[in-house]
A and B are shown apart, each in its own frame.
Chain A
Amino acid sequence: MENTELMELITKVIPYGTVSQGSQYPEVIVPAGKLHDAAEQLRNLEGQPFDYLINMTAADFTDKFTVYYHMESTQAHNLVVLKADIADRDNAVVETVSDIWVTAEFFEREVFDLFGIRFKNHPDLRRLFLEDDYGFPLRKDFKDEVNIIELPN
């Protein structure tokens, strides 16, 4: 299936999302509140369900967080990126997709550990790598005077 066709199909099932061709793969941008629904739609997409969540991560853009979900259909081998922006950085909450792809449970724990984004309805939201009282190191405003020595650029 060509990318344009795929994009049309996705637009049909996710009318609230913005579907565009990114630099490499089709991208679907949805509001954070609709993320779980969009993920479910993609997971059960007719003809080529996106059943393999390759990667889930986040990025901190100082004014917002963006969560990324790279997923592939194991039948058609198409790759799609699902994105959602979380505007509220201090109380970042987004719904979990671990009930759709079980592997997301651990990706989400990692994102929670490093970014402090909380996942609603997550079965076991604990920190994965770091101690409980450590900050969230991948946030751009993270400061750790003890362990990280800043070099002058």
Chain B
Amino acid sequence: MSKDVIKNIIVKDDEDYIINMGPQHPSTHGVLRLEVCLNGEIVKYVIPHIGYIHRGIEKMCEADTYKQIIHLTDRMDYLSAHMNNEAVCLAVENALQVEVPERVQYIRAILDELNRLASHQLWWSAFGMDLGALTTFFYGLRDREKILAIFEESFGSRLLHSFNTPGGLMHDVHPNFQKHILEFVKYFRKKLPDYKNLLTDNVIFHNRTKGVGVMSPETAIAFGVTGPSGRGSGFACDVRKVAPYGVYDQLDFKQVLYSEGDSFARYQVRMDEMEESLNLLEQLVAKMPSEGDFTAKMKPIIKLPEGEYYERVETARGELGVFIVSKGEKYPYRMRFRSPNFSNLFVLNTLSKGLKIADLVAISGSLDLVLPDIDR
């Protein structure tokens, strides 16, 4: 391990030509403000300014019961709402040593993968838009619609379903749940080559992403860049493998790793993860018990024993950590979310330094940022 310390270097000058990208800007995917210093077209430094959608979720959690908190976590990373729910549920269940029925664990894993797929589809759509290929948006959303229909059928909501509850699920899934998932897997397998033809194999796309924003594994680890962005640099950080939760240790899947570390590698990781998720879905549906409880027996008022609990799950964007300090009451004393996007955002300056302003857009697109998750 080298002793070189990776730093976030910003050298300011009085004569800097500053452009404020955002808070309303087409490519910042939300209310992110990037203070970009330019030298002609070349980026000298980027300072992200956040907090435009800070809702104080951590403060709100201190006055909410654990069941109520679930509904707040949806609103952080709204594209991996289910994983956020699951993180809190796992933390509570592990603290209380509750045995969750096997069927629930399988359903949760299925929802994880469906949510991951939906999130990656939306990312693919938006990434193409960032690079100027406007058609990707419609292709991605067309296929995402099928997943949202599955969600709607079982939970009545499409984006923020708050379907988890400590100990299990709110209610049982729709009888057609498995059937529709298998149909979707078959459908999406056929559609994935479209994605490849439209964007992956495009020579302009290669020029725009290959060798752009190269992140070394050391940089990824030092900045805590996790998820597909980190795995594009060869940082093996998939929590599903590193610290398996739920049924992930019983499943056969591989951690997608690329070593190039450029925007194209980050793109490839997500594309491969989509295929991996499809495989996982097939395994999960095949193994899922068709009968059983949808929740464990829980007390009506959940009180965590005094102590500190930390639980990690893999969302579509990286490692989500839930840290609870409990004093034995029905409210958490301190609740903290380690959001993956927060760490992923701040690597932007290091990656885009010395590149063109168009590369900055490509890099921020390839990091797949979701702003409400950063601000919380």
CB-defined contacts of A101 to chain B, threshold 8 Å: 222, 224
**Identity of the chain A residue whose Cβ is nearest the Cβ of B319 in the assembled complex:** A54
Which of B136-144, B168-176, B198-206, B330-338 contacts the other chain? B330-338
Provide the bound-state CA to CA distance between A44 and B2, in Å: 10
The residue among B56, B242, B321 with the most chain A CB atoms within 10 A of its own CB is B56
Of residues 241 through 292 on chain B, the ones whose CB sits less than 8 Å from some CB of chain A are 242-243
A54, B224: Cβ atoms closer than 8 Å: yes
Does A105 sit at the interface, judged by CB under 8 A?
yes
Does B221 sit at the interface, judged by CB under 8 A?
yes
Knowing A102-B5, A138-B58, say if A54 contacts B312 (CB, 8 Å): yes
- Count contacts between A and B, CB distance < 8 Å: 92
Other-chain contact of A129, B54, B63, B94 (Cβ < 8 Å): B54
Provide the bound-state CA to CA distance between A9 and B57, in Å: 38
> What's the nearest-Cβ distance from chain B to residue A67, in Å?
12
Does A33 sit at the interface, judged by CB under 8 A?
no
Provide the bound-state CA to CA distance between A3 and B336, in Å: 25
CB-defined contacts of B319 to chain A, threshold 8 Å: 54
> What's the nearest-Cβ distance from chain A to residue B211, in Å?
23
A100, B310: Cβ atoms closer than 8 Å: no
Which of A10-18, A45-53, A88-96 contacts the other chain? A45-53
Does B110 sit at the interface, judged by CB under 8 A?
no
> What's the nearest-Cβ distance from chain A to residue B341, in Å?
12
Does B359 sit at the interface, judged by CB under 8 A?
no
Other-chain contact of B321, A54, A59, A74 (Cβ < 8 Å): A54
Of residues 220 through 239 on chain B, the ones whose CB sits less than 8 Å from some CB of chain A are 221-224, 235-237
Provide the bound-state CA to CA distance between A101 and B319, in Å: 17
B236, A74: Cβ atoms closer than 8 Å: yes
A103, B222: Cβ atoms closer than 8 Å: yes
Provide the bound-state CA to CA distance between A98 and B336, in Å: 20
**Identity of the chain B residue whose Cβ is nearest the Cβ of A43 in the assembled complex:** B1
Other-chain contact of B221, A25, A74, A81, A99 (Cβ < 8 Å): A74
Of residues 42 through 77 on chain B, the ones whose CB sits less than 8 Å from some CB of chain A are 50-51, 54, 56, 58-59, 63
**Identity of the chain B residue whose Cβ is nearest the Cβ of A100 in the assembled complex:** B5
Knowing A54-B321, A57-B336, A77-B242, say if A24 contacts B222 (CB, 8 Å): no
A129, B50: Cβ atoms closer than 8 Å: yes
Provide the bound-state CA to CA distance between A44 and B1, in Å: 9
B224, A103: Cβ atoms closer than 8 Å: yes
Provide the bound-state CA to CA distance between A73 and B58, in Å: 27
Knowing A49-B1, A81-B310, A129-B54, say if A106 contacts B334 (CB, 8 Å): no
Provide the bound-state CA to CA distance between A14 and B59, in Å: 34
A55, B221: Cβ atoms closer than 8 Å: no
Does B163 sit at the interface, judged by CB under 8 A?
no
**Identity of the chain B residue whose Cβ is nearest the Cβ of A22 in the assembled complex:** B308
A51, B309: Cβ atoms closer than 8 Å: no
What are the 5 A-B residue pairs with the smallest beta carbon separation, nearest first? A129-B51, A55-B338, A103-B224, A129-B54, A59-B334
Q: A23-B308, A103-B223, A105-B346 are in contact. List 15 more A-B contacts (CB 8 A).
A: A22-B307, A51-B222, A52-B221, A52-B237, A54-B224, A54-B319, A57-B336, A74-B236, A100-B5, A103-B224, A103-B343, A129-B50, A130-B51, A130-B54, A137-B56
